[in-house]
Structure 1
């Protein structure tokens, strides 16, 4: 973990997903892994007080740069999203756990919803040269999808939209079954309801026979949980979720968990909006 003074190199608006900040932060970039996050100070004073957590959307170790997707939510998120080339950002990271891709995996399925695309894009870039990669992404409309030209050319990109404006009409769970049949391993990140739906599919597969399509990939699925945080150091326990082993802190034990370990039946964690 490093406290680093990052410099914004470039910014871009990606539809309704938010602002992508490309930041020079060679210390953090050199240690960051897919699924981990950085804690960003949201201003030059102590108002707002709490830092904001953002998953890495890209990690370029050679250039010493990282990318973050920032939605302008509240005064803190709005301040960070408004940074422009040359501005400085106070960064703390990398923090949390990361995804682990098995060496034996030949067909990797990545599932994303909303800003959950961030760690899935990192995995797509890191793994597409080693194995077959398919990315399944869902959004409310085409404006909530990641642009295909910002993915490696070898990645198969499958999309769903709730309004049918692009790709398959529906949600990722409406398109995932044949892809799970194909996959050796799967990873996902997105809103809690999406992850809970994947959890129900896993429970169904666990109860079924070994011939259940996609059973192996579902049983071993890893997910990154999106959650509001306070300290991001494991002290305040503001980001606790319920798992098979009891309460777990998303900032320390997570954000990456085994899909089967998260107790979705306990309900979505109570979170307080940060301003």
Structure 2
């Protein structure tokens, strides 16, 4: 397979996509790496995904995927990594060209991105996690929780029957799981981490006590607008709160590894400087909290 060249092209796809910070993050990384690569954003939905992917030429190295494409890309790929198969969600596509033919590989960098973001905020292990929402990112949050040592998960959703697919997923990674509607009673005493996977602008239809907010770290994967109502409530209680930008940075770093070396486990040259530049580009400190302005 041919190596990427100077005019290599990349893009993030989704709908809506205008708010995406991925171009900012990737531009910062490639500048440190000395790569004059082009990273764009394109508004693509399920109906136009196949044609977009299949119409790329050999100048293209890969794609980042956001809502609503993470669970619909797989039929257009030749290979999917273990986490992508496990979660059913792929957020990264690598193009490897051999003449006029291309091999398309899919990866899920959301799971390690969650783990890395929480680790940077000194959240290294949990026994029980509470997840808000039941979509693709919720699946990644459950697998990430298992990698943090969690034994059980509570998933709050509007319609539990629509999130039934999370039950076998949790079992496959050794978690017991409870699905509950948003208005159901919650076992707050056992929870050690709250992860909200609700889209930006969607209010969490449940309340948490000030004591809970002060004790339990929150990862809210939304980042536009920020702070969310939930994130602000955590900050007001003096709790540990991470926004979606922290997760986005760490999963994007792994995407850069994939696009540069074809391997999410291969560290980049001077990776510490690359990560620092990506964090600075979106105004975050090393622990994922916003820099003082």
Q: Indicate the TM-score class for this superposition, using the shorter chain for normalisation.
A: 0.3 to 0.5
The structure richer in helix per residue is 2
> Normalising to structure 2: TM-score of the pair?
0.37
> Normalising to structure 1: TM-score of the pair?
0.39
The structure richer in strand per residue is 1
Query: Which of the pair has more CA radius of gyration?
Result: 2
